[in-house]
Structure 1
Amino acid sequence: MRTATITRNTAETRIAVTVDLDGTGIYDIQTGIGFFDHMLEQLSRHSLIDLHVRTEGDLHIDQHHTVEDTGIAIGEAVAQALADKRGIRRYGDALSPMDETLTRVALDISGRPWLVWKTEFTQKRLGEMDTELFQHWFHSFAQAAGITLHIETLHGENNHHIAEAAFKGLARALRIAVEIDPRKGDAIPSTKGML
């Protein structure tokens, strides 16, 4: 079973995350930020990774710690569930269209975290969520999961669509990358012998 549970308790947040990489996209997510919950639901549904998230953050201050720490916890859970990464496809990419928006996502479960972010928003908020925090979430997730992640919005006008296309693109690319490749057996997908 490629599952993991992470708890992260700080002076700013209390978080519990469970992932099942071989799930069916079942989710139960509560972060206290409605639009953020909606994006994480998209991540689960389209990656087929079961995702359970409970975050209690210091939202009376702002959303920064809640979003950042949730990204770290989900990334850590994915990394733990992948273990030594034997047999995975490792790479994944997706073109994610949503009406007028088209986003390209490519990733490598490399153990070398990096984020290239070429996405902009024209609104400061979507619902109650600060749009500047989307980049921060993807960065926190990529760092904690050990993933090289490239996200680029090729076209887009509607800010909701731009955000959602990025999360759906990550989901679809991640689904490919974490899958077990039957041709690889239990080999680690690197000439180095480790990732």
Structure 2
Amino acid sequence: MSRESKIRRKTNETDITFGLNIDGCGTYVVDTGIGFFDHMMTHIAKHGLFNLDITCTGDLQVDCHHTIEDIGIVFGQCIKEAVGDKHGIKRYGSAIIPMDETLVLCALDLSGRPYLNYDVTLTTPRLGEMDTEMVEEFFRAVAMHAEMNLHVKLLDGKNNHHIVEGIFKAFGNALDQATMVDERIKGALSTKGML
């Protein structure tokens, strides 16, 4: 069973091609025009053991908002397509990740019911060319379009780079857990019989 997805999404603001292989080994090619965001996406690939191939041309002369949010939309769509009917997957994943002085929690459920609970306060407006408020917007877009319940919580931390990096690493790790296939699971892991 191939659990791969490749989606192209072109609007007046962005032109995105996004390839995802859930059963990868953590390889990546990421070129969004936003260096810090590229770096964060590589953490999802490496710590989730997903293969990612992402290119985006966006209206960065405006700001980074459209590029990051639209990549979140397409990433969510790729996740939803790649897991398909969700038969046999563990469905839930959670990670508590330390990053120097920082401790981040990420928990998710591929439930089919989109929701984001984001409890993180960042104290600097930008990291590189990325507005820090876009971290929440990115994960909201992913959660809505993957139809996942996603909780992100800062447990401790001061350095904004460490906090954001911890979030992306934790998300990759938790998503890896949730998408794992368990031979004991027959059908969808739900008393409803579907997710």
Q: TM-score, normalised by structure 1?
A: 0.98
Q: Distance in 1 between matches of 2:53 and 2:189?
A: 28
Q: Distance in 2 between matches of 1:175 and 1:190?
A: 19
Q: Secondary structure at the match of 1:61?
A: coil
Partner of 2:6: 5
Q: Distance in 2 between matches of 1:111 and 1:7?
A: 23
Pairing 1:106-145 to 2, within 5 Å after superposition? 106-145=107-146
Pairing 1:5-84 to 2, within 5 Å after superposition? 5-84=6-85
- Structure 1 gap segments, 5+ residues each: none
Partner of 2:92: 91
Q: Distance in 1 between matches of 2:180 and 2:50?
A: 11
Q: Distance in 1 between matches of 2:101 and 2:127?
A: 18
Q: Secondary structure at the match of 1:172?
A: helix
- Structure 2 gap segments, 5+ residues each: none
Partner of 2:165: 164
Q: For 1:58-112, what per-residue CA distance to the aligned partner results, in whole angstroms no more than 9, with x for missing partners? A: 0011111000000001110111000100100000000010000000111000010
Q: Distance in 2 between matches of 1:72 and 1:44?
A: 17
Q: Secondary structure at the match of 1:62?
A: coil
Q: For 1:113-155, what per-residue CA distance to the aligned partner results, in whole angstroms no more than 9, with x for missing partners? A: 1000000111000011100110000000111111100000000
Percent sequence identity over aligned pairs = 48
| Cα RMSD (Å) | 0.6
Q: Report runs of 4+ in structure 1 exceeding 6 Å deviation.
A: none
Q: Distance in 2 between matches of 1:63 and 1:159?
A: 18
> 1:192 is aligned with what amino acid?
K
> 1:114 is aligned with what amino acid?
Y
**Once the 2 structures are TM-superposed, how far is the Cα of residue 189 of structure 1 from its aligned partner?**
1.0
**Once the 2 structures are TM-superposed, how far is the Cα of residue 193 of structure 1 from its aligned partner?**
1.2
Q: Distance in 2 between matches of 1:182 and 1:171?
A: 22
Q: For 1:20-74, what per-residue CA distance to the aligned partner results, in whole angstroms no more than 9, with x for missing partners? A: 0100011000000000000000000000011110011000111110000000011
Q: TM-score, normalised by structure 2?
A: 0.98
Q: Secondary structure at the match of 2:77?
A: helix
Q: Secondary structure at the match of 2:166?
A: helix
Q: Distance in 2 between matches of 1:51 and 1:135?
A: 21
**Retained in 1: the 8 A contact 2:16–2:55?**
yes
Partner of 2:188: 188
> 2:67 is aligned with what amino acid?
T
**Once the 2 structures are TM-superposed, how far is the Cα of residue 183 of structure 1 from its aligned partner?**
1.3
> 1:149 is aligned with what amino acid?
L
Q: Distance in 2 between matches of 1:147 and 1:165?
A: 20
Q: Distance in 1 between matches of 2:108 and 2:13?
A: 30
Q: Secondary structure at the match of 2:12?
A: coil
**Once the 2 structures are TM-superposed, how far is the Cα of residue 191 of structure 1 from its aligned partner?**
1.0
Q: Secondary structure at the match of 2:105?
A: strand
Aligned length: 194
> 2:114 is aligned with what amino acid?
P
Q: Secondary structure at the match of 2:124?
A: coil
Q: Secondary structure at the match of 1:92?
A: strand
